[in-house]
Amino acid sequence: MKPARGFLLGIVVGGICTGGIGYAATNTIQIDVTMPQVTYWYDGKRVNDEEMTNVPDTIAYQDVYYVPARSFAEGLGHEVTYDAATQEVNIYDVRDLAFDVIEAGEAPKELVGWVGQSKSLSMAQVREYAGDTYILMTRGKHITGGYRVEVQQLKQYSDKIELIAKYTNPERGMLMTTEVSYPYVLLRVEGTDLPPIEFHEAHGEPIPVLKGLTYLPAVVEARESVSLFEPQWGDGTVMISGAARTFAGQLSIALLDANGEPSQERKVQASAHAPDWGMFEAVFDWDERSDKLYLRVEVMDADEVYADELMQVVIDSPESVE
């Protein structure tokens, strides 16, 4: 045991908990403490770092052992943050969540279409299937190779999962293939009913997330910032829905007549703004005698000015499909 010595104490955290700890020191006092060389073990694993020679692992005072909160908690596998403004130490119970990377050609056939229709979009999606959870991250269409997306870690907290991904882009001057590429990664995590997943890119690049749905349903047409779902046909009506990634979140959806002129128009607001994807829908009257649906979708800016014509689509009605 090291000899007793004078030690100036400001804040001493003498316990470990899984919530937030707040302690404000307004006074300091001079006390005599000892610094015993104590080794702590938890379930057969050493907790305190044997390489920490300059910082005492333990301070003994009046028959109570005090240990640094950060090194002790991290030694137990917890994550520690400190807020200097509020003088709060937060200790989180966190563990690495195991996952498998599903290579091309290995996905269940029921999910192949989902992956295929998503690859041209920059988006993160989560889908449950056959007792497992699948996480799909796509980076959209690129005119060369050299683009990648890699998941580095899944960290599970008590109330959420944090996914850490890394985007790789081709370096300047690098010789690249000229073929179009659609970088993506598909993960499988055992089990379902997982807590919400937060997506983070290692260098701070935003990861667009689909809001309002966990994954895309069947898509009939997709562009860089708009994805159009299969229409829902009713009795004399048709519902047009999809997902959009626009800064104002506003769109114009119009049914066109045989001359290409709008016969009905709806202005809709997506449920989220860029960089995320928001859901939208609009209901139109529909003449069931018509065999085709002519549709135009345009993005609008914040002043409801048409900013860009994204797509014109022709869709067969249910009667013509039969």
Q: Per-residue pLDDT tens for 30-51?
A: 888 888 888 888 777 777 666 6
Token duo for residue 296: 């135009």
Amino acid at 189: V
Q: In whole angstroms, give the CA distance from residue 263 to residue 283.
A: 13
| 182: Cα separation from own chain's centroid | 19
State pTM to two decimals: 0.75
Tell me, what DSSP letter sits at residue 198?
Answer: E
CA atoms of 264 and 251, how far apart (whole Å): 14
Architecture of domain 219-321: Sandwich (2.60)
* CA 153 remoteness from chain centre: 12
Tokens of 70: 């950060």
Concatenate the DSSP letters of all residues of 147-183 into one string: -EEEEEEEEE-SS-EEEEEEEE-PPTT-----S-B--
Domain range summary for the chain, segments of one domain joined by +: 5-92, 100-201, 219-321
What is the amino acid identity at position 54? N
The encoded tokens of residue 250 equal: 């506003």
Which run of H or of E encompasses 319? helix 318-321
Residues linked to residue 239 through DSSP beta bridges, in sequence order: 232, 283
What span, in angstroms and rounded, lies between the C-alpha atoms of 283 and 240?
6
| Rounded Cα–Cα distance for residues 251 and 234 (Å) | 23
Q: Which residues of 120-149 are buried (b: 16+ CB within 10 A; e: fewer)?
A: bbbbbbbbeeeeebbbbbbbbbbeebebeb
List the chain residues with pLDDT less than 50.
1-24, 321
> Looking at residue 307, what is its pLDDT?
64
Helix spans in 119-191 (H): none
